[in-house]
Amino acid sequence: MNNLKEFQNATFEKKCDWVTANSNYLAVRRLGEAKVYLYHTKAFFIEVYYSPTHKKILMINAFNSNVGLEPYTDDVSLADLKL
């Protein structure tokens, strides 16, 4: 899968395999009882919604907009950069 549209149209199983083999983990956040893992590819971002209670992936969301990254900004700190 070379682009966002191809990824979005893929089956759930193919998305899971592709995330594992072709993306880089960036961050995690909580959303209610779920954990949302953020990954990056060369062309877009992927969120994997996981339920620890049910021990399964609930949903996979892919996007290429900066707006999709806003939920992660609460956990980012530039303090260690000593700017």
Map out the domains of the chain as residue ranges. Answer: 4-76
Average pLDDT over residues 36-61: 96
Least confident of 4-18, 44-58, 69-83: 69-83
Report, in this order, helix, strand and coil percent for the chain, each rounded to 5: 35, 35, 30
pLDDT tens for 51-79 read: 999 999 999 999 999 899 999 887 776 67
How many helices (H) and strands (E) in the chain?
2, 4
Architecture of domain 4-76: 2-Layer Sandwich (3.30)
Is the predicted pLDDT of residue 80 greater than 70, yes or no? no
